[in-house]
Amino acid sequence: MNITEDFFNLILDFGEEWVVKKVETDHKKLHIFLYLEYISNTYEDPDTHYPATLYDHCELREWRHLDILHYQTYVRCRIPRVKCKDGKVKQVAVGWANKHDRHSYHFEIKVIELLMATRNQTKTAEFLGCSFRIVNRIMHRCVERGLERRNTHLYPFEHISIDEKSFKKGHKYVTVISHPKSGIILNVGEDRTGKATKSLLTDTFTIKQLSNMSTVSMDMWQPYISSITNTCPNAEIVHDKFHLIAYLNKCIDQVRRREVKNHEELKNSRYVLLKNQVNLTKDQQELFEKIKYANFQVSKAWHIKENFKDLFGCSNNEIEAKSILLNWVQDSYKKCIKEVNKVIIMFVNHINGVVNALISNINNAMAERLNGKIQELKCIGKGYRLFENFRSAILFFYGGLDLYPLKW
């Protein structure tokens, strides 16, 4: 062993049993190859840790390691195989990598750190000079490891949120279950059908957790409602404030598009009516004031929405809140705006969930923030063709998982 091997043994700790015996370099490709050798005289069963005897050595294998300077570094060695007490022949455990991988733990940690920085698997692979497949496989493995470590069956989940997210074109969706209190995504399921949602719930929670769940916030998608009713018998459904107001905002835009054909004043007023008033420019504010006090149906629809927003927090009593809501329904329905009346009827058909939204502070605000982050993830990744990749990416970045391998 010369000074070069001594240097690498000094800076790289592969464990007391392993030493760098030889170093090769390829200056054209900028590669370094470190040849390791097992020097201990004792061996053990990798599964039971009982003493074992040396049988032979595997063929030479290679693992990608952290780069040294600007050289891609690879570890090479022949792993000893031992004969165990049960008569089986197994290869000893190496301390720097999982037995199924061809990269070291340190390389995996670097992949995780770069993914967190770039949010992009392709850029991470390009930066490290490896294939997309390796980065993608590491991401999947990290999510599997994180989910195994999570132990969610030990936690009480009194409140959860269920939301949908578009996956691909053609009305392809995924269902996202999140935990507002911790701000993490618990699971992601393919599709938003009743069967798929029920399966996702039972895969994510234990029967006891589902029984103890007290509230679930969601929109009015019927398969979600049916799934919660069937799997969470004691949970109250809360129709999210964000979605309720979004239904009315959609109506306002529908009415505006219908009336703009006959009223020039409504041209270029879409965002004037939908934006928060504090964010309006001076010109937009002037146009808004003209429309607000006009006798247009869109003006009446806007007032109906504002009156509905005022209902939140008016009462903490279910009976009183229901009475206030029905008064709003009656007054609003009299305006005879067909687009708005459809939404009003929908609210009445889901009146318990709407009332629960009025009397509680529970909403899908956190779920919507996570939805925005998922959308950003889609944009950075330029979309996802496979659900498995989309799910792993969501849980990798927003699942609050312990992703890192065991450090040695």
H or E element in which residue 394 lies = helix 387-398
Cβ contact 253:273 at 8 Å: yes
H or E element in which residue 227 lies = helix 222-231
State what percent of residues in the chain have pLDDT above 70: 98
Rg value, the chain, Cα: 30
Residue-wise DSSP of 202-213: HHHS-HHHHHH-
Cβ contact 45:52 at 8 Å: yes
Instruction: Say how far apart CA 14 and CA 7 lie, in whole Å.
Output: 13
Residue 108 dihedral angles phi and psi, to the nearest 5° = -60, -40
Return the pLDDT at 168: 77
Q: Locate tokens 């247009």: which residue?
A: 296
pLDDT higher at 295 or 75: 75
pLDDT higher at 380 or 355: 355
Residue 249 pLDDT more than 50? yes
Instruction: Say how far apart CA 216 and CA 201 lie, in whole Å.
Output: 12
Q: Nearest 10 degrees: CA dihedral of 25, 28, 30, 31?
A: -40
Strand partners, 26: 31
Return the pLDDT at 1: 55
Instruction: Say how far apart CA 208 and CA 154 lie, in whole Å.
Output: 10
H or E element in which residue 270 lies = helix 270-274
Mean pLDDT of the chain: 89
Residue 408 pLDDT more than 50? no
The confidence band for 170, taking pLDDT boundaries of 50, 70 and 90, is low
> Domains in the chain, please, with CATH?
1-102 (no CATH), 152-238+381-398 (3.30.420.10), 241-359 (no CATH)
